[in-house]
Amino acid sequence: MLLFAGAFGIKINWMGKSSLFRKPHGFIFRLLGGIAVERSQKNNLVASMINLFNEESQMRLVVAVEGTRAHSQFWKSGFYHIAKGANVPILPTFLDYSKKRGGFGMALHVTGDVKSDMDTLRELYATVQGKFPKQASTIRLKEETQNNQ
């Protein structure tokens, strides 16, 4: 991701667990656009990221939506709530190991209709296969299973 962005001269920001940002590598990761995240406690991460978008004139935040390297029933929903709260589009990306290709989907401006927005992402990723397909999480947010959606 960092090499790709650098090759095209694109400045990106990305979130990583706080332990990555300790000495001796912390300085380098921050220089490369890293934002340390303390995952062991609730800390209003979504609100903090929305504030960063409001403070920066140009910001490209890269988020790994699965949020883990292991299989999970749901994607982490922070990316969705950040995009909605900051009024910025989601630009989905993919690496399809079965076809040895990568790329971008169409920018998605979230509507607040979680199911409909996620249907758009499910359609994009329907034919994409990751490096470890058995570890891929279901493309679904917990919010989709709640009655108020």
3-class SS of residue 92: coil
* Distance separating alpha carbons of residues 134 and 70, to the nearest angstrom: 9
49-93: pLDDT as tens digits? 999 999 988 889 988 765 566 788 888 899 999 999 999 999 998
pLDDT for the residue 43: 79
Report the C-alpha dihedral over residues 36, 41, 46, 48, rounded to 10 degrees. Answer: -60
pLDDT for the residue 85: 95
96-115: pLDDT as tens digits? 999 999 888 899 999 999 99
pLDDT for the residue 39: 72
Residue 28 DSSP code = H
Q: Give the pTM.
A: 0.83
